[in-house]
Amino acid sequence: MRIATWNVNSVRQRLAPLLSFLKESNPDILCLQELKCEETAFPRMEVEDAGYNVVLHGQKTFNGVAILSKSPIEESTVGLPGFDHEGQSRYIEAVVSNGDAGVFRVASIYCPNGNPPDTPKYAYKLRFMKALTAHAFALLKLEEATVLAGDYNIIPEPRDAHDPSAWVADALFLPESRAAYRRLLNLGYADALRAATDDAGLYTFWDYQAGAWQKNKGIRIDHLLLSPQAADRLARVEIVKEMRAGDKPSDHVPIFAELA
């Protein structure tokens, strides 16, 4: 069972690389963030022709999340429970049944950026994370294989940034942001990448500016958090770094976990 997440940074602009990724990497489930389109503008026909069922929570110009699944989607939840999203489309959750692999609960999450930190945007980020933690705790009680996937807009540790000192005043790396991420882990979720490796220098985002990609000045902000039932089945994790070098790439790349 291969479950991937990717901040596509405009699904209509990234349709060709999206279809290429679906064909070549063949994920069973793909969580997308930052669709930047309403539901009626989503390229549903092309994605369904590639063999995927779709549920999405769209928004014009900004945000937007989706879950693509090769197997039937049995139920879905639109919007983060317990959070007043103020019209921002940042959370969708689905239950997917995959034959012998069993049932999986998967969420596609686009956490707020929070910058500048001295504005209401940062308070909004922390409120979102508080609601996400409460919901994540409730999901653990279901004792299901659950994957909370997405762009968390949080750099968990210094080793997750090429130059941590450049981020000390940024909302992605402030102590309160990192503490909010740790609270999810302390509930019992596992960071899939860190369950597989302790290596530094593993990134999922490179800015378009100042040659960040060419100089490998990246950060890791896209995460797959696994419930204990999912973590027990973890076989492999891969960051699909080469997607950043493609034609008209997103500034993020996909990361996927294989569950046995």
Residues making up the annotated binding site are 7, 34, 151, 153, 251-252
H/E segment holding residue 177: helix 175-187
Query: Which is the catalytic residue, given 57, 162, 223, 252?
Result: 252
Buried-state track 5-36, b at ≥16 Cβ within 10 A, e below 16: bbbbbebeebeebbeebbeebebbbbbbbbbb
CB-facing half-sphere around the CA of 54: CA atoms within 13 A? 20
Binding-site residues from annotation for Mg(2+): 7, 34, 151, 153, 251-252
CB 5 within 8 Å of CB 224: yes
Q: Is 252 a catalytic residue?
A: yes
Kindly state the tokens that stand for 173. 């790396």
DSSP-assigned letter for residue 215: T
Given the residues 110, 152, 189, 203, the one annotated as active site: 110
Residue of 28, 52, 135, 151 with catalytic role: 151
The answer to whether the beta carbons of residues 144 and 104 sit under 8 Å apart is yes
CA separation for the pair 152, 165 (Å, rounded): 20
- Whether cis (ω within 30° of 0) applies to the bond prior to 228 is no
Q: 184: which DSSP letter?
A: H
- Residue that the structure tokens 């378009």 belong to: 208
Other C-beta atoms within 10 Å of 96: how many? 26
Using an 8 Å Cβ cutoff, are 240 and 253 in contact? yes
Query: With contact defined as beta carbons under 8 Å apart, do 16 and 25 qualify?
Result: no
Active-site amino acid positions = 110, 151, 252
